């Protein structure tokens, strides 16, 4: 580790439990499509993320044997507890997919009830499930009876401002076997716009006895403490703010991280991407991370273009030496 780098102190005391699964720590990387793969999850875990959620997995892909699913299911032992997140709008398909996924050894299976993109929510999956509380009850009751691992959910506050049924949904999840609820403090219609409603997260925490994870508008270390104090939630889930700043899980804001440590992290992250995906695909997929890692530095348009289009990991490393002071 370079001079000036700080080795994160990972928690060794129990923070909360998901059924029988102990969780040590109160900060968690959010499941994000295209970001929460094994290389990035492992980086965040080393910095202090207490659980590892996979990218969301289509139940149909699991049932039909789509080979792309296997990459999403790959995890390191050091990442545990590991959560496989699945989505669909039909209880029978969710059960079949969950039973198959259980064979890959997750600690927890999570039902996605928060995805707001049209191709998911528009067919009644993801946040679309919030419109059908009776179906939510059937899904959780069915999965709880059949699965051997704890069951959790990630939800939003409702479909829109006229249907903010979050407390009802939270109670249904708990009453039908759910062991943890993660809450993004926005409705489906809000997407990622507007302001997250932390009061609503606090209401859910008061309404149920299972652990509640708060999510939304956490960008700095100060935001972590404000959300915990405001809601009394058991943990904080961090998504977009962690891209380019995995140090937030060590409770360090980006401006606290010296350039040498940034350089070491970028190199390590790139190496894991190349190893996991192969050189060509790994480099392409790493570009979105590189853009965020380097967003704080004054790059010329030419430097930015070269950095984000190079097809050579060696050239990228050489440019990194020039960009990071």
Active site residues: 115
Q: Report the C-alpha gap between 286 and 35 in whole angstroms.
A: 9
For tokens 């999840």, the residue is: 173
- CB neighbours of 266 closer than 8 A, spacing ≥ 6? 290, 293, 294, 320, 324
Q: Left if phi > 0, otherwise alpha if psi is -120 to 50, otherwise beta: which for 201?
A: alpha
Closest CA to 155 of 120, 103, 108, 116: 116
| Cα 129 from Cα 58, distance rounded (Å) | 14
**Parallel, antiparallel, or unpaired: how do β-strands 151-155 and 235-238 relate?**
unpaired
The Cα-based distances of 24 to 108, 148, 224, 304 in angstroms read 15, 22, 16, 39
DSSP 11-56: --S--EEETTEEE--SEEEPP-TTT-SHHHHHHHHHHT---EEPPP
Across the chain, the runs of DSSP E, i.e. the strands, are 16-18, 21-23, 27-29, 52-53, 57-58, 82-87, 108-113, 151-155, 178-184, 212-215, 235-238
Residue 142 CA from chain centroid, whole number: 25
Burial class of residue 64, CB neighbours in 10 A (0-12, 13-18, 19+) = exposed
How large is the angle between the packed helices 259-277 and 279-293, nearest 10 degrees? 150
């Amino acid at each position: 580790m370079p001079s000036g780098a700080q080795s994160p102190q990972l928690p060794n005391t129990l923070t909360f439990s998901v059924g029988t699964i102990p969780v040590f720590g109160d900060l968690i990387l959010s499941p994000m499509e295209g970001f929460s793969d094994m290389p990035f999850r492992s980086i965040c875990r080393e910095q202090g993320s207490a659980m590892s959620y996979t990218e969301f997995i289509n139940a149909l892909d699991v049932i039909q044997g789509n080979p792309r699913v296997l990459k999403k299911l790959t995890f390191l032992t050091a990442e545990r507890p590991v959560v496989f997140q699945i989505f669909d709008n039909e209880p029978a398909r969710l059960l079949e997919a969950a039973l198959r996924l259980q064979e890959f050894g997750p600690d927890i299976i999570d039902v996605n009830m928060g995805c707001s993109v049209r191709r998911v929510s528009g067919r009644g999956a993801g946040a679309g499930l919030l419109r059908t509380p009776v179906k939510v009850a059937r899904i959780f009751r069915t999965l709880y009876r059949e699965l051997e691992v704890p069951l959790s959910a990630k939800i939003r506050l409702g479909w829109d401002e006229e249907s903010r049924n979050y407390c009802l949904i939270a109670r249904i999840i708990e009453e039908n076997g759910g062991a943890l609820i993660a809450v993004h403090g926005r409705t489906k219609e809000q997407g990622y716009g507007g302001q997250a409603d932390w009061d609503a997260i606090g209401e859910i925490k008061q309404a149920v006895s299972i652990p509640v994870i708060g999510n939304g508008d956490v960008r700095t270390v100060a935001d972590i403490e404000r959300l915990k104090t405001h809601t009394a939630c058991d943990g904080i889930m961090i998504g977009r703010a962690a891209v380019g700043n995995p140090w937030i899980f060590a409770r360090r804001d980006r401006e606290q991280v010296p350039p040498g440590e940034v350089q070491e992290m970028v190199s390590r992250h790139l190496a894991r991407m190349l190893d996991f995906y192969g050189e060509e695909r790994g480099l392409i997929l790493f570009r979105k991370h590189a853009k965020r890692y380097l967003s704080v530095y004054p790059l010329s348009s030419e430097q930015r273009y070269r950095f984000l289009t190079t097809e050579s990991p060696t050239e990228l490393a050489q440019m990194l030496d020039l960009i990071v002071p």
